[in-house]
Amino acid sequence: MTSYGTRVSRIASGKLGPSAIGAGLFVAFAPIHLWVTEEVSAAIAALTLALIAGTYIGFGASDGSVRVFWLEPGVAAFYTGGALAGLLWTPLALPLGLAAHAAWDILHHNGAFGAPVPRWYIPSCVVFDLPAAAFLLLLYRP
């Protein structure tokens, strides 16, 4: 019998696994925004974007390169600023931040740019970020 950790690892490392994780997260994320006020929805989306930003601090610190160490937290600050703008200025900043995160992950593809990230991270994030960005853009449109 396999352990829970082994099964999760197998799902995350399979061809569809990372995409399925991203899609599953989106399916869990989207309905919540339909059940709460726009203000609460924006707070949830801002928290999501800020949590995403935090992963880049860890990626930058684990790389060992001084340039990457400062690059990744700089990007984290950008996403955190987007989350703050979504709360204080307009919630439309939140889907833009999620779309920017998808673009940043695509730049990391094949390890050509920035800190190395786990193989499963890029497809799961892109599959979550782009539908979430489109969903929130429709939800927050004036």
Name the residue ranges covered by the structural domains of the chain: 4-140
Residue-wise pLDDT tens digits, 21-76: 889 999 999 999 999 999 999 999 999 999 998 888 888 888 788 888 888 888 89
Count the helix, strand and coil residues of the chain and give each as a percent rounded to the nearest 5: 80, 0, 20
**pTM metric for this prediction:** 0.83
Which of the four pLDDT bands, split at 50, 70 and 90, describes residue 130?
A: very high
- Mind giving me the DSSP string for 27-58? HHHHHHHHHS-HHHHHHHHHHHHHHHHHHHHH
